[in-house]
C-alpha cells in the first residue's frame, strides 16, 4: 500500500507508452536535446459551439510540480522493457527546465488559438504531451459546457451535482472547471477542500424513504440543519410535501427541490402554493438531467437555482475539447536557427512557428482573434494580449494554481465572456463567434 501511495504522488506515469519510446529514439539519434516549441490548440470547436473556454491549466501546473519518475516507475520500465537503460537513466534525473506560456485559464478561445506553448528540449516537451492534453481536454470541455449553462441560467445560480456521474478524480476536476465556467458551488467535498469552492447539499430520496413518513423525515432534517435548509419534495406527492414542509418549518422554510417530472409546470404550481401558505421567500431549486437547453426552457418558470450533474461532467454532448499538441518549431541541427514545422495531413493541418495572439475590438466588443506568425503587424496589435507566462526556466508561477488559480480563472472567464458579441451566446448551431485571422510575417 505504501508503494502505491508513493506512485500516486508522481504524475509522470499519467502518460502514454509512445512518449517514452519517442524519447528513446531521440536519445539514440542525438536529437533529444534539440530546442523545440510545442503548441496545444484546437482545430475546431465541438459541432454547433460558438466559443470554447480554456480550463485545466492550473491543474496541469500542479501536476507538473510532481512530474518526476519514482524508483517504482523506473523499475516497471526496466522490468517490462518499455525503454532501454539509457532512457531509464535519463528519466531518473528528469526535471522540467523549460518555459511554458499560454492563454490565461478561463479565457475564451477559438479554432487555432495557441492555447499553451512549451519551449524546451524535445525530450522535456514530448513527455508532457499526454498529461497536458488529458488535463486541458477534459477541464475545457466541462468549463465550456458550464459557461453555456450559466449563461442560459442568467442570474439564477447553478450548482455542480455531477460527482456520481464520473470518475472520482474527474469529479474534482469537473467541479473546479464548472466554477471557472460560472457555477457558484459544488456537491464535491474534495473539490471544496482543495480549491476553496463553496459546497452544498442537504438530502436525497433515500433520507425520506428511511423514515416512517415524510413528516418525520422533514422534521429530522429541519431539526438537524435548521429551517433554512432545502427539502426534497418529489418522493411521493409534491403538493402534500410542500404543505407538510411548511407546517414543520413554518413560512421561513429555506427552500424546496424538485427532481422529476415537468419542472416548469411543477415549479409554477409549487410557487403558487408556497405563496398561498405564506412561504413567499422559500426558494425553488430544480434538478433532473438539466443542460443549457432545458435551463433555457425554464427561463419563464419561477425557479431560483439549478443543480446540474450528468450533462455538466460529460461536457453537455462534447466530452472532450479535441485539443492537440504539435511540434511547431525547432532549431536546425546545422545553422542553429529556429525552423517552423507543420503537419500537412488532410484535415489535420497545423500552423508552424512562434505566435503572438491578440484579441481585437470595436469599442468594447471583440471582433477578431489575431494570430501573428511569429509576430503581428503594428496594425493588428492594438487589442488585448492573450498570452501569459506560466513557467519560466522551470519555475512555476504558483499564482495560477490552487485556490488563487481558480479565483483568477473565474474572473478571467467572466471578463472574457463580457467581451463577446451577442451571437456568441446563441444555443443554435453556428460558426465561431470570432474569426481567427493569421498574419504571416
Instruction: Convert the pLDDT of each residue in 81-126 to its tens digit.
Output: 999 999 999 999 999 999 999 999 999 999 999 999 999 999 999 9
> Do 283 and 327 belong to one domain?
no
Q: What is the overall mean pLDDT for the chain?
A: 95
Does residue 147 belong to any structural domain of this protein?
A: no
Does residue 146 belong to any structural domain of this protein?
A: no
The CATH number assigned to the domain holding 331 equals 3.20.140.10
Phi, psi of 370 (to 5 degrees): -105, 120
- H or E stretch covering 148: helix 129-153
> Do 359 and 228 belong to one domain?
no
The CATH number assigned to the domain holding 269 equals 3.20.20.70
Does residue 24 belong to any structural domain of this protein?
A: yes
> Do 385 and 350 belong to one domain?
yes
CB-based contact 65:396 (threshold 8 Å): yes
CB-based contact 314:288 (threshold 8 Å): no
Domain final position from 281, 315, 349: 315
What are 312-328's pLDDT values in tens digits?
A: 999 999 999 999 999 99
Residue 400's closest CA among 7, 26, 27, 57? 57
Q: What is the pLDDT along the chain (441 residues), one digit of tens a residue?
A: 334 333 358 999 999 999 999 999 999 999 999 999 999 999 999 988 999 999 999 999 999 999 999 999 999 999 999 999 999 999 999 999 999 999 999 999 999 999 999 999 999 999 999 999 999 999 999 999 999 999 999 999 999 999 999 999 999 999 999 999 999 999 999 999 999 999 999 999 999 999 999 999 999 999 999 999 999 999 999 999 999 999 999 999 999 999 999 999 999 999 999 999 999 999 999 999 999 999 999 999 999 999 999 999 999 999 999 999 999 999 987 788 999 998 776 666 678 999 999 999 999 999 999 999 999 988 888 899 999 999 999 999 999 999 999 999 999 999 999 999 999 999 999 999 999 999 987
3-state secondary structure 12-43: CCCCCHHHHHHHHHHHHHCCCCCEEEEEEEEC
Q: Which residues pair with 231 in a beta bridge?
A: 256
CB-based contact 201:221 (threshold 8 Å): no
Number of domains in the chain: 2
> Do 173 and 309 belong to one domain?
yes
Residue 56: domain span: 2-127+322-440
CA angle 182, 183, 187 (to 5 degrees): 160
> Do 95 and 207 belong to one domain?
no
> Do 30 and 162 belong to one domain?
no
Amino acid at each position: 500500500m505504501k508503494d502505491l501511495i508513493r506512485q500516486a504522488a508522481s504524475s509522470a506515469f499519467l502518460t502514454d507508452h509512445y512518449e517514452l519510446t519517442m524519447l528513446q529514439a531521440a536519445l539514440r539519434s542525438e536529437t533529444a536535446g534539440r530546442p523545440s516549441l510545442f503548441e496545444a490548440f484546437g482545430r475546431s470547436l465541438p459541432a454547433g459551439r460558438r466559443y470554447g473556454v480554456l480550463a485545466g491549466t492550473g491543474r496541469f501546473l500542479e501536476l507538473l510540480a510532481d512530474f518526476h519518475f519514482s524508483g517504482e516507475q523506473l523499475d516497471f520500465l526496466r522490468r517490462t522493457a518499455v525503454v532501454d537503460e539509457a532512457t531509464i537513466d535519463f528519466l531518473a534525473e528528469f526535471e522540467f527546465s523549460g518555459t511554458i506560456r499560454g492563454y490565461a485559464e478561463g479565457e475564451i478561445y477559438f479554432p487555432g488559438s495557441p492555447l499553451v506553448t512549451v519551449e524546451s528540449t524535445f525530450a522535456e516537451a514530448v513527455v508532457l504531451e499526454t498529461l497536458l492534453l488529458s488535463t486541458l481536454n477534459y477541464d475545457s470541455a466541462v468549463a465550456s459546457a458550464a459557461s453555456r449553462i450559466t449563461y442560459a441560467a442568467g442570474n439564477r445560480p447553478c450548482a455542480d451535482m455531477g460527482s456520481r456521474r464520473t470518475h472520482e478524480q474527474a469529479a474534482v476536476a469537473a467541479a473546479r472547471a464548472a466554477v471557472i465556467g460560472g457555477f457558484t458551488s459544488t456537491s464535491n467535498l474534495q473539490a471544496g477542500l482543495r480549491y476553496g469552492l463553496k459546497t452544498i447539499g442537504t438530502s436525497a430520496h433515500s433520507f425520506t424513504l428511511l423514515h416512517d413518513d415524510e413528516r418525520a423525515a422533514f422534521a429530522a432534517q429541519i431539526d438537524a440543519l435548521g429551517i433554512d435548509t432545502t427539502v426534497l419534495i418529489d418522493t411521493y406527492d409534491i403538493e402534500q410535501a410542500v404543505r407538510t414542509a411548511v407546517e414543520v418549518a413554518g413560512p421561513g422554510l429555506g427552500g424546496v427541490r424538485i427532481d422529476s417530472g415537468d419542472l416548469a409546470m411543477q415549479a409554477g404550481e409549487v410557487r403558487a402554493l408556497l405563496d398561498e401558505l405564506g412561504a413567499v421567500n422559500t426558494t425553488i431549486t430544480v434538478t433532473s438531467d438539466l443542460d443549457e437547453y432545458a435551463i433555457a426552457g425554464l427561463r419563464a418558470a419561477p425557479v431560483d437555482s439549478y443543480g446540474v450533474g450528468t450533462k455538466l461532467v460529460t461536457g453537455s454532448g462534447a466530452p472532450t475539447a479535441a485539443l492537440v499538441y504539435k511540434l511547431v518549431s525547432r532549431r536546425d541541427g546545422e545553422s542553429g536557427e529556429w525552423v517552423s514545422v507543420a503537419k500537412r495531413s488532410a484535415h489535420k493541418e497545423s500552423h508552424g512557428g512562434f505566435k503572438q495572439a491578440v484579441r481585437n475590438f470595436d469599442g468594447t466588443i471583440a471582433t477578431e482573434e489575431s494570430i501573428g506568425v511569429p509576430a503581428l503587424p503594428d496594425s493588428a496589435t492594438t487589442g488585448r494580449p492573450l498570452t501569459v507566462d506560466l513557467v519560466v526556466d522551470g519555475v512555476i508561477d504558483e499564482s495560477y494554481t490552487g485556490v488563487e488559480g481558480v479565483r483568477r480563472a473565474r474572473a478571467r472567464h467572466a471578463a472574457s465572456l463580457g467581451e463577446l458579441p451577442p451571437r456568441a451566446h446563441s444555443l443554435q448551431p453556428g460558426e465561431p463567434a470570432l474569426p481567427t485571422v493569421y498574419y504571416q510575417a
